[in-house]
Chains A and B, each alone.
Chain A
Amino acid sequence: MTDTTHEARHIPDRIDTPLRAAIFSWPVLLLVVAIALFVLNSFASPYFLSPWSLSDATFNFTEKAIIALAMALLIISGEIDLSVASIIALASTMMGLALQLGVGTPGLVAIGIVTGLFCGVFNGFLVTRLGLPSIVVTIGTMSFFRGISFIVLGDQAFKGYPASFDFFGQGYVWWVVSFEFVLFLVCAVIYYVLLHRTNFGRHVFVIGNNPMAARFSGVRVERVKFFLFCLTGLMSGIAAVLLTSRLASTRPSIALGWELEVVTMVVLGGVSILGGSGSIQGVVLAAFIMGLVTFGLGLLNVPGIVMSIFIGTLLIFVIALPIVFRMLRERRS
């Protein structure tokens, strides 16, 4: 898992995509799965195709997907952050505390986002400055951040957020299009540009493939990684604002277990857990797939826990399938 000695990979400047490779690429495969799920769902339940229920479906995954965008970059660079759900808990708790002090809506949003950013800085400092393995550090901060929420709240909850605060998690920008969903799409475009169209994004891939070579090529490995941890913290802070607004309350158990769902989303999106490859398109499609699966099965009265079997199987299946195919092909030749 922490094996850093990958085989050398070929990284061309410009990737020529023959039609065949384009058709069998991971995002296309995911797109097919997503369309299939959409069609299956509309046959399975008459309620699925109504615009309002589709809009409701987006609420199930947008907050996680917003974090998954930043997590994708972090995993591509060869690190991981398991503390994202706890950052949500801490940021939400800080917003609740500010609320008790009479802070208004703009202040609450700022506090949520800044707390998230601060948590990201803390993770980034421990990993890049002290040179610690991110998986252990973030398991530690995962307990630590949520632990602070438990100290502050115990078995209580913060309630009574102002009505103007409701907009972020419950408001609609236009007709059935929610604010959360629009924010997710905007973030997805920003992250697409950042990862696939800038030098910074190229550095992220290089670091994930070979940190040593990256350093010798003049890439500031530690600084890039630090920035990615900050980004992940920031996105978790934004997700905290959305979720707190949607639930209109803060409990220390808020978003419990989300870290694994976010990682599942990223890996399902074709990002290699070993780092070095992946795409934002894939992650966005994976978010839609997970949303469609949970919502479609929900309409059919399948309990949440059974859906998780489906998601877990999907995760292993989509990763195992290409490996099995490759093995069969190698055996034949």
Chain B
Amino acid sequence: MKTLVRSREFWLAVIIAVMIVATNFRSPGFASPGNLASIFNDTAILLILALGQMTVILTRSIDLSMASNLALTGMIVALINAAYPAIPVPALMVLAAFCGVVLGAFNGALVWLLGIPAIVVTLGTLTIYRGLIFLIAGGQWVNADAMSSSFVQLTRTDLLGLPLLSWYAIVVAAGFFLLMTRTSVGRSIYAIGVNPTASIYAGIDVGRTKFVAFCLSGMLSGFCGYLWVSRYVIGSVEVAKGYELTIVAACVIGGISIAGGVGTVVGAVLGALFLGVINSALPVINISPFWQMAISGAAIILAVVLNARGEKRGGRVILRQAESAS
């Protein structure tokens, strides 16, 4: 109980709850289950992407190419769907994840085999992947009428009261929770973030673990490529432009340390939800959506300041907690 109250995930959850309740005073019905579900559904893609970014940041790297990867795989599956509507959509979803892994593996290979800093590699692939969209699509858009109905419906169909999109996010989050806390891959990812030198002595291949982290973030980006195109029914060069930094923002707000090794799946999920709740609350309380950017910026700065204080006071505790979680 004491550790729960002291954890930053707990306080972030409290802040989110307070925001929801406060908005509900202004506009009754905001906290209704139906509206909360729709906020969750709106945040689902950001949530999945934040989990991918988290795995990379934990290894002391960063993946700035996620949004471009998303847009490129989204365009690929949209074009395939438009050309061959007979191909079943679940196969396209697998293909999207596979394309994402390939693009992520390219990042990871450069980081692993050549030792180029991740920020440089992904800065490069950020522009390359987005440029490739233009090349493969010839500057065209893929519109709603070109997509098959099942392609569009597989994120919208209701299952037990929630759209499938929300279920994908829940399944991915649950899967990542198990991956990060119950498997040796997850342990290695934390280990090389906390202390790369000690990890080598413990027999962990630091480079290969980073490679795996990039493949994971690539896989989720690719999968979200399908989700994004299906949800917003548009495939174009402009899809998710500039979104890479929103993903990093969700992670930072969720308490994932940019220095690596510190952060949890719950934190990433809450960080994404925090941004999602703000985005839906602003129009409700009659604040122009143009305020959104400044507010999320202020939230990031505040989160970093608070995280740094937390780390100074209780760095040891956090590490022990992470260890005992395995």
Contact = CB atoms under 8 A, between A and B. Distances in A.
A52 to B, nearest CB: 29
A315 interface: yes
B135 interface: yes
Given A3-B60, A312-B128, A140 B300 contact: yes
A324 B116 CA distance: 11
Interface string B104-140: 0000001000111111110111111011111100010
A260 B61 contact: no
B117 A273 contact: yes
B123 A143 contact: no
B248 interface: yes
Interface residues on A, range: 35 or more
B127 A323 contact: no
Interface string A255-279: 0110010011001000001100000
Nearest to A264: B123
B61 to A, nearest CB: 6
A148 interface: yes
Contact of A320 (B110, B119, B125, B131): B110
Nearest to B301: A140
A151 interface: yes
B290 interface: yes
Nearest to B127: A312
Contact of A140 (B62, B128, B134, B297): B297
Nearest to A143: B297
A147 B288 CA distance: 12
Given A1-B117, A147-B292, A131 B308 contact: yes
A137 B305 CA distance: 9
A306 B129 CA distance: 10
Interface stretch (B89-97, B173-181, B252-260, B266-274): B252-260
Contact of A142 (B110, B130, B290, B297): B297
B171 interface: no
B295 interface: yes
Given A143-B249, A150-B293, A320-B116, A1 B62 contact: yes
B288 A151 contact: yes
A240 B290 CA distance: 21
Contacts of A298: none
Interface string B84-102: 0000000000000000000
Contacts of B237: 305
B245 interface: yes
Contacts of B298: 140, 144, 147
Q: Which of B123, B130, B139, B298 has the most CB of A within 10 A?
A: B123
Contacts of B116: 316, 319-320, 323
A140 B308 CA distance: 14
A305 B118 contact: no
Contact of A143 (B60, B120, B124, B293): B293
B7 interface: no
B258 A316 contact: no
Contacts of A2: 60, 258-260
Contacts of A185: none
Contacts of A140: 249, 252, 297-298, 300-301, 304
A126 to B, nearest CB: 7
A271 B56 CA distance: 24
B242 interface: yes
B199 interface: no
Interface in B29-66: 60-62, 64
Contacts of B260: 2
A111 B304 CA distance: 29
A132 B304 contact: yes
A104 interface: no
B259 A148 contact: no
Contacts of B242: 256-257
Interface in B250-294: 252, 258-260, 288, 290-294
B105 to A, nearest CB: 15
Contacts of A126: 301, 304-305
A237 B228 CA distance: 37
A146 interface: yes
B24 interface: no
Nearest to A305: B134
B128 A309 contact: yes
Contacts of B308: 130-132
Contacts of A153: 290
A25 B291 CA distance: 48
12 contacts: A1-B62, A1-B258, A126-B301, A130-B308, A136-B248, A140-B301, A141-B301, A143-B296, A144-B300, A148-B294, A264-B127, A312-B127
Interface of A: 1-3, 82, 126, 130-133, 135-137, 139-148, 150-151, 153-155, 252, 256-257, 260, 263-264, 267, 273-274, 303, 305-309, 311-313, 315-316, 319-320, 323-324, 327
Given A130-B308, A147-B298, 4 more contacts: A132-B305, A136-B258, A143-B245, A309-B131
